[in-house]
Structure 1
Amino acid sequence: MGQQEQVATSLAGTVGAEIGASLTAVDAELARRYPGDPGTRRPVHTVYVPADAFEAGTVRSWGDRALAALDEHAPDAAAFAEILSVPPELAEDVHGRVRAKLEREPVEDLRIDFEDGYGLRPDAEEDEAAARAARLVAEAYADGTAAPYTGIRMKCMEAAVRDRGIRTTDVFLTGLMRAGGLPDGLVLTLPKVTYPEQVTAFVRLLEAFETAHGLPDGRIGFEIQIETSQSILASDGTAAVARMIDAARGRATGLHYGTFDYSACVGVSPAYQASDHPAADHAKAVMQVAAAGTGVRVCDGSTNVLPVGPPEQVHDAWRLHYRLTRRALARAYYQGWDMHPGHLPTRYAAVYTFYREGLPQAASRLAAYVAKAGGDVMDEPATAKALSGYLLRGIDCGALDTEEVARLTGLTRADLDGFASPRRGGLTVTAP
């Protein structure tokens, strides 16, 4: 034991209290605007199906068609790995997990599309389709065949289609209420948002619905789809998307990038419209910064290159989709759109390879941090939070197993939850 130090201070005790009082409003504002990640499961993709094509067996049909494509164009693990350049040591594991996922839960997030994929229809026809969608969704949740997350993309708040979008939302949500209530996995997507006032209008719509049915305030959240340049940069030069998040008043759950509408809006030629175009990277970077800390998640767009036709054409489309998905994951866009059943094998292959490749290092770094054991990387609390989030996302999608993560880190699922999100209760870990 060394010499005990004498502790002396110079400031009056009231100084700290005065400073605290002066920052009370800032503290409240930080807590309101930046609550952190919600701590809920995050789907790896969103599948869009036109409302007139949606059936009771849509989720299972997509899985079966994806399995058929895998069997036809990559009949074994070695072939699949060679096509996609999956590391040989991961080939069997990734292939097996992909097949199991397609058999068990082929779609994580399903959006029944009443917008571009559906188009303009007579009112009576769209009314019928919206009521039918509500019935089928309710039945799917009741019998356990629904995707974990399911909902609709209605028409936008622009004048030409506003009334139709409002009515479809009302018909769909009312149908769910009549069938027993809103499912926990309900997701709504508001497309082509250009001004924050359109978000405010949608919030007003949802508030009115909640009031009409005696639902808790804020029960219904929604995603904001970013498809116009004005949603990124407003006329005054500010980031409009940040104001949109604020306008949602805590209801925004995601920002979804619309690859082709946004690309066309800024003048990108069709041959170059893709999620890795510089214009796309800029838009998503702004979205990412605006959403950071708010609990709103950023979702990448889609590719319109479909894996159909002869084997060589399918393989080329698979390689493109795999590359774009891996690129997005590296940039922290952990969700993207899938437009065809043939995209599912490469979606899961890319996601699973991403998490399987990174598991050893992520687990060892987190274990070293918890044990205060040091190592060749000095991590901080923010990195421990990111490492835990990485492992949790891998577990939730089926890339990693809870048991193997626990074995490698010495942490339970509850421990990981505590590290990853303050909304999950926090965690204090001391060295053994």
Structure 2
Amino acid sequence: MGQRTTVATTFGSAVRESVGSSLAAVDAELARRYPGDAGTRQPVHTVYVPADVFTAGTVREWGDRALAALDEHAPDAEAFAAVLGLPGELAGPVHERVRAKLEREPVEDLRIDFEDGYGPRPDAEEDAAAARAARLVAEAYADGTAAPYMGVRVKCMEAAVRDRGIRTLDVFLTGLMEAGGLPGGLVLTLPKVSYPEQVVAMARLAGEFETAHGLAEGRIRFEIQIETTQAILGADGRATVARLIDAGAGRVTGLHYGTFDYSAACGVGAAHQAPDHPVADHAKAVMQVAAAGTGVRLSDGSTNVLPVGTTARVHEAWRLHHGLVRRSLARAYYQGWDMHPGHLPTRYAAVYAYYREGLERAAARLVAYTERAGGDVLDEPATARALSGHLLRGLDCGAVGTAEVTGLTGLDRAALERLAGRPAGRGF
């Protein structure tokens, strides 16, 4: 007892040091390209609102309209569950949490759109709209009415609209600086990216703005929308998405699939353009592999089937949207687009049911892992990270409560963040 066992070895320290030296560049490259998840909250959706209709009351208006849709078309938990096919044990908790969410925080991520939803306008009109957007966003963060994440989608880097997009970005960011600085929840979206050089250009603009205003390098980051076939497969036959991420030099935060532009580019007819079409699945699979480990988040696209009209039509649209959201979640797309206030009830219903229905099982597996208690599933550290991340996403969006998770796992949020590999305290 207590005696140290001597074992025989062959490799000397010089060999180990030589191997380490030979792989130093690879170690650095892995750390640069694959830093892992940022550890911050990822919104469950993005709402796009044309710049000319965005107002100081847009977030609250979307919540009120969503609540009104529930009141009219599914006034209680049982009715809502019946429409969506939710099991009885989830009907009450999901309905209660959906209504609370719509009252408290109806929109998690809002993008003021200066691209397709806004269209071409006279320069003076778009200048004024961009300045107004900056003022309203700054005021919303100041008075506490902002969505957790807000920003703009400007026109793309293609020649015909490039100057206009750059100017709108400049007016918006400069307006925010004049109003007190860039808010923590700022998100910028670059659409219709086809070539890495366009991402390089956007990164250059971000760097130039930082230098001009004395901001820290890397403060301004942005999302890329995958809407062109060239973003998936280049003219040379090589996959392109990883090159787009790399071109951003650490500034790319997300990849958003553009359902309708990408489907149309592939020749898909209007009636079949949807997030579950095979061309969509192919594009998103490529995006997923390219982004894995990079810290770049993924977002699915949207459906253009709106829940409006008679109750029967609303129920049909709700079932479609709910099914699409569930499908995305199962495929590890934890974010998507919502195009209408009537989509909010089914967005949150799908998300909340997804996290609640597997809560006890996920918690039990995590307890077994942390206590090495065994069970019918032998989990790896990577699975423990995924289980912890799953619970944290449920906490972030309001699907589950802190006391509920701690009661089931014995772990507080800080412990979950450590297991998930998140920097502590960066959930929001």
Could you state the TM-score of these two structures normalised by the residue count of structure 2?
0.98
Aligned position for 1:310: 310
Aligned position for 1:420: 420
- Give distance in 2, aligned partners of 1:377 and 1:315: 39
Corresponding residue SS for 2:112: strand
Deviations 1:332-387 (A, max 9, x none): 00000000000000000000000000101110000110001111000010000000
Deviations 1:32-61 (A, max 9, x none): 000000000010000000000000000000
- Give distance in 2, aligned partners of 1:3 and 1:31: 39
- Give distance in 1, aligned partners of 2:246 and 2:129: 32
Give the drift of 1:239.
Answer: 1.3
Aligned position for 2:182: 182
1:181-260 correspondence to structure 2 within 5 Å: 181-260=181-260
Give the drift of 1:422.
Answer: 5.1
- 8 Å contact kept, 1:48–1:111: yes
- 8 Å contact kept, 2:221–2:251: yes
The one-letter code of the counterpart of 1:138 is: A
RMSD over equivalenced CA pairs, Å: 1.3
Q: Is 1:63 matched up with 2:63?
A: yes
Give the drift of 1:425.
Answer: 9.5
- Give distance in 2, aligned partners of 1:227 and 1:422: 30
- 8 Å contact kept, 2:414–2:425: no
Aligned position for 1:376: 376
Aligned position for 1:429: none
1:74-223 correspondence to structure 2 within 5 Å: 74-223=74-223
- Give distance in 1, aligned partners of 2:78 and 2:425: 43
- 8 Å contact kept, 2:191–2:225: yes
Corresponding residue SS for 2:337: strand
Corresponding residue SS for 1:324: helix
Aligned position for 2:334: 334
Where structure 1 has 5 or more consecutive residues not aligned to the other structure, the ranges are 427-432
The one-letter code of the counterpart of 2:16 is: G
The one-letter code of the counterpart of 1:114 is: F
- Give distance in 2, aligned partners of 1:186 and 1:422: 21
Give the drift of 1:421.
Answer: 2.1
Q: Is 1:30 matched up with 2:30?
A: yes
Give the drift of 1:2.
Answer: 12
Q: 1:30 to 1:423 in 2, by over 3 A?
A: farther
Deviations 1:225-252 (A, max 9, x none): 0001110001112111110000000000
Corresponding residue SS for 2:171: helix
Is the deviation greater in 406-415 or in 102-111?
406-415
- Give distance in 1, aligned partners of 2:227 and 2:356: 33
* Aligned residue-pair number: 426
Deviations 1:102-138 (A, max 9, x none): 0000000000000000000000000000000000000
- Give distance in 1, aligned partners of 2:269 and 2:145: 41
Deviations 1:125-161 (A, max 9, x none): 0000000000000000000000000000000000000
Aligned position for 2:402: 402
Aligned position for 2:282: 282
Give the drift of 1:13.
Answer: 1.7
- 8 Å contact kept, 1:418–1:425: no
Give the drift of 1:298.
Answer: 0.7
Aligned position for 1:390: 390
Corresponding residue SS for 2:62: helix
Where structure 2 has 5 or more consecutive residues not aligned to the other structure, the ranges are none
- Give distance in 1, aligned partners of 2:32 and 2:237: 25
Q: Is 1:45 matched up with 2:45?
A: yes
- Give distance in 1, aligned partners of 2:33 and 2:274: 32
- 8 Å contact kept, 1:36–1:423: no
- Give distance in 1, aligned partners of 2:92 and 2:251: 42
- 8 Å contact kept, 1:38–1:421: no
The one-letter code of the counterpart of 1:290 is: A
- Give distance in 2, aligned partners of 1:289 and 1:185: 27
Deviations 1:250-274 (A, max 9, x none): 0000000000000000000111100
Give the drift of 1:6.
Answer: 3.9
Could you state the TM-score of these two structures normalised by the residue count of structure 1?
0.97
- Give distance in 1, aligned partners of 2:422 and 2:58: 37
- 8 Å contact kept, 1:37–1:423: no
The one-letter code of the counterpart of 1:278 is: P
- Give distance in 2, aligned partners of 1:400 and 1:375: 24
Deviations 1:154-213 (A, max 9, x none): 000000000000000000000000000000000000000000000000011111111110
Deviations 1:269-304 (A, max 9, x none): 111100000000000000000000000001000000
- Give distance in 2, aligned partners of 1:331 and 1:283: 13
- Give distance in 1, aligned partners of 2:153 and 2:130: 11
- Give distance in 2, aligned partners of 1:196 and 1:153: 18
Deviations 1:303-328 (A, max 9, x none): 00000000000000000000000000
The one-letter code of the counterpart of 1:194 is: S
- 8 Å contact kept, 2:131–2:175: yes
- Give distance in 1, aligned partners of 2:126 and 2:398: 37
- Give distance in 1, aligned partners of 2:256 and 2:116: 15
